[in-house]
Amino acid sequence: MPARLEKLKQADAALDKVRIYLRLAVKWQWWTPGQYQHAAAVRWAPARIAPTLPGRGDE
């Protein structure tokens, strides 16, 4: 179980990096706010599919 938890933490850290990069893309006007909203919706899709996984849902 600890190995699985470590992998989940690594995945969350990687998703945090993606979120930061997406925000920078909007700030630097590489992306429109609508593109950011779409990417955010795709990023949170796993939370809607499996809200009981650790690190997902309305924490």
What's the per-residue H, E or C state across 9-48?
HHHHHHHHHHHHHHHHHHHCCCCCHHHHHHHHHHHCHHHH
The pTM assigned to this predicted structure is 0.58
Angle of CA points 5, 23, 9, to nearest 5°: 5
43 compared with 32, residue with greater pLDDT: 32
CA angle 36, 38, 41 (to 5 degrees): 110
pLDDT at 58: 46
Residue 35 to residue 4: CA distance in whole angstroms:
32
pLDDT in tens, 1-23: 688 889 989 988 988 898 899 88
Which residue did the predictor score with more confidence, 51 or 37? 37
